Structure 1
C-alpha cells in the first residue's frame, strides 16, 4: 500500500521521516562543523603565537644575549653601543620594536632611545616571565599609554622572553611583532588542517546513510501499519454496525412488526372479537413490548457497558444458547471451568457470539453444540450445528457482500497466537473451532 507524500500541505509518512532525518542530520553536521572550525581556528592561532615566541627567543639568543651584562643595568655606554650595533639584526618587517626590562620595571635598552632609562613599572606579564623563565605572548592594546611610540603600526603582538647573560644578569626581552605575520601563519595552518576536518565531516555524513535508510524503512513500515490498523478499525466498525442493524431487524423489528400487524388486524375486526380475544391480543402486545424493551436495553448495555463486571463465560455462553433455543434449535452446552484473563474471555465471548449468530441466521439447524474446554494449556471453543452448511463459494459471497465478521475475528485470534478454523460442507452442517493459549501472549 503506497502512502501519499503530503496530505493537506503537511509531510506525512516517508516524507515526514525524510524531513525529520534531514533536519536532525543537518543540525548535527552544523554543530560539528561549527565546533570544528572554532577549535581549528584556536589551534591555528595558538600555533602562530608559538612560532612568534620562538622567533623572539632565537633573535634574542643570537643577537641580544651576547651583549647583555651587569654593566648594562648601570647604563654603561659600551654595553649600550653593543646593543645598538645588534639592532639591525633584530628589527625588520616582522619585529618593529624591542625593549629590555630590568626586574625592577626599568627599560634598560630599546631601539627607541627615548625609552631607555624610563621606569614605567613592570607589568604582571614581565614579572611572571622574570619569575618563572617561561615566555609569553599576547596581542597588545594599541591605545595603551606604554605604546605611545608604536602608534600607526596597527595591531601588534607582544612577546616576552627571559634573557640570562653569561654573568647571570636576568632581564626580560619584549618584542612587538606585526599581526600580519601571525594572521598569515594562522591562515596557513588553518588551511592545512581544513581538508582533514572536511574529510572527517564527509565520513560522518556517509556513516549516517545506513541510519537514514533504516529510519526511512522503519517509518514507512510504521505508517503502513497505521493505515492498515485504521482500515481494520473501519471494517470492524462497519461490521459492528451491520451486526447491530441485523440484530435489530431479526429481533426487535420483527417482533414489533408482528405486533403491529396483530394490533391492526384486531382493530379492523374489533366488533367481531370477543372480550377474551381482545384481552389476549393486548396481553401479547404488552409482552412483545416488554421483550423488545429488554432486548434494546441489553443492546445498549453492550454498546456502552460503563463499569460492567468481567465476562463470566459459564453464565454468558448458556444465555447465548437461549437465543437459539428460542428459535426451536436443540442446543447442548458444555462449559469447563477455564481460568483466562479478561482479554481472552472477551475474545472467546465475541467468537461465540459470531458463531451462534451465524447458526441462527444461515444454518437452518435443528441441533447445535456449544462447548468450552481447557487442556494442555489451550482453551478450545466449539460451535457446531447440523444445518445446511456452506461452501467456500458461499464464504466468498459473504465477504463480497460486506460480511467480514469472521475475517476480523480470525485476525484477532491470530494476534493472540491462537487459531480459528471453519469446517463446513453443504448439507452436513458447520463446525467453528477457536484455539487460544490460556495466557495472552501478543504476537511480535
Structure 2
C-alpha cells in the first residue's frame, strides 16, 4: 500500500508536468497573439502611410515615370516612410509594373501579382503575408532576412487604382510576440504555481483519508475473516455437542431396547423419547441452517426472517415478543445488517443470558431503521466489549465494525443482573 508521502509526491509530480505543459501552451499562445497583434499593427501603419503620405503624392507625373517627379517622391518616401522596421516599399499598377521602389533597379519591371495582391488592389483593402524571398521581385530583399509584406490598395489623384506594398522586418514582429509573452507569462505562471501549491495540502489530506479508509477496510476484512473462523468453530461445536450427541444417545437407546427384549411399555417409552430427541435435533439443525444460510431477505422480508429466529429461540424455552411493523419495505442492505444484528444478539441470549423473555422491535424513524433486542437475563459488564484482550463478545465487536462501515451504529447497554439491550441503527439510504 502506497505511503502518504508517496501519493503526495506522485500527485505533485503530475501537477508539475501539467504545469510545464500549460506553461508551454500559454507561451505559444501568447507569442502567437503577440505576432498577430504586431501584424495588425504593421497593417495599420501601412494603411495610415498609404492614405496620409502616398495617395496625396500620386499625381500623373509619378505614374508616368517622370524622373523629376519620381526623385521628389523618393525623397518624401525616405523622409517620412522608410523608418524603423520598414525596409522596402513598392508601388504597383494593375498590370504588375513597379511604378516606384526605393530600390531603383526594380522600377519599371513587370511581375505578376498573386490573388491576394490583386484582391487588395481591386477592393482597396489591406492584406499581409510572409515574404517569399525566392520570387524575382524580392531578390534585393534577401539581405534583410525574413520579412512581412503588407499590401494596401490606393488610388492616384487621377483615380487610377494602385497597390502600395511595404516590407517590415519580421524580427520586430517576433519581438512583439515575445513582449506579449513577457507581459502575461509571469501572471499566468504565477497563478498556476499558486494553484499547484494550494493543491498540495489538499492532496496530502486526501492521501491521508485514502490511507485511513484502506486501514479501515483492512480492519473490517480481518474482522470478517476472524468472525468467519469463529462462526465455523461455533457451528462445529454446536453440531458436536448438540445434534451429534442427541443422535448418538438415540442410537444407544434403540440398540439397548433391541438387544434387551423389553416389554411393550418400555419399547413405547424408548420410541417416544427417541421421537422427542429427534424433533429437538431437527429444530437445532433448522436453527443452524438459518445461521449458515440466512433467509432471502429481498424476497421474504426482514419480518419473516426475524420470526424464524424467534421460533428457534422459543424452542429453547425463552418467550419472545416480536414487533416488526417497521420492518416492511426496508432496503436489502439495511435489512441484511439488522438481521445480522438480531442473529448475533439472540445467539448471545440463548447461550449466555439465562433470560426468560426477549422483546424484538424494529422501527423506522427519520431515515433510520432501528432494531432493538431487549432481554431480562443476568446481563454483563458492557464495558468489556471494547477490550479485545478479554475473551467473549468478539461477535459483537465484529458486528459493530460492520454496521459502522455502513454509517450506522451499534449500542449495547447491560449491567450484571439488569438484562441486556442491543440497539442497531442503520441509515435507510
Between stretches 196-205 and 12-21, larger displacement belongs to 12-21
- Alignment correspondent of 1:4: none
In the alignment, which residue of structure 2 is the partner of 1:339? 326
Q: Is the 8 A contact 2:314 2:320 kept in 1?
A: no
Match status 1:204 vs 2:192: yes
Q: Determine the structure 1 residue equivalent to 2:420.
A: 431
Match of 2:69 among 76, 79, 88: 79
2:213 pairs with 1:225: yes
Q: State the alpha-carbon separation in 1 of the partners of residues 383 and 159 from structure 2.
A: 114
Please give the secondary structure, in 2, of the residue aligned with 1:339. helix
Deviation at 1:12, TM superposition (A): 5.6
- Aligned pairs for 1:135-154 (under 5 A) are 135-151=126-142, 153-154=144-145
Q: In structure 2, do the counterparts of structure 1 residues 18 and 231 end up closer, same or farther at CA, with 3 Å as the change threshold?
A: same
Structure 2 counterparts to residues 365-384 of structure 1, below 5 A: 365=354, 367-373=355-361, 377=365, 381-384=372-375
2:145 partner SS: coil
Shift of 1:371: 1.6
Q: Distance in 2 between matches of 1:300 and 1:106?
A: 106
How far, CA to CA, are the matches of 1:233 and 1:39 in structure 2? Answer: 53
CA contact (8 A) 2:62 2:73 kept: no
The farther-off stretch of 107-116 and 298-307 is 298-307
Show the counterpart of 2:237: 249
TM-score, reference length from structure 2:
0.75
The separation in 1 between residues aligned to 2:154 and 2:234, in whole angstroms, is 107
Shift of 1:42: 1.8
- 2:148 maps to 1:161: no
Q: Unaligned regions of 5+ residues in structure 1, if any?
A: 1-6, 326-330
Q: CA deviation at 1:289?
A: 8.4
8 Å Cα contact 2:43/2:128 also seen in 1: yes
Q: 1:241 to 1:284 in 2, by over 3 A?
A: farther
Tell me how far apart the structure 2 counterparts of residues 87 and 346 of structure 1 sit (CA, whole Å).
Answer: 94
Local SS of the residue matching 1:324? coil
TM-score, normalised via structure 1 length? 0.73
Cα-Cα RMSD: 4.5
User: What pairs up with 1:354-365 in 2 under 5 angstroms?
Assistant: 354-363=344-353, 365=354
User: Pick from 400, 403, 409: which aligns with 2:390?
Assistant: 400
**Structure 2: any 5+ residue segments left out of the alignment?**
none
Residue 182 of structure 2 is matched in structure 1 by: 194
- Give the CA deviation at 1:231: 0.8
Structure 1 match to 2:341: 351
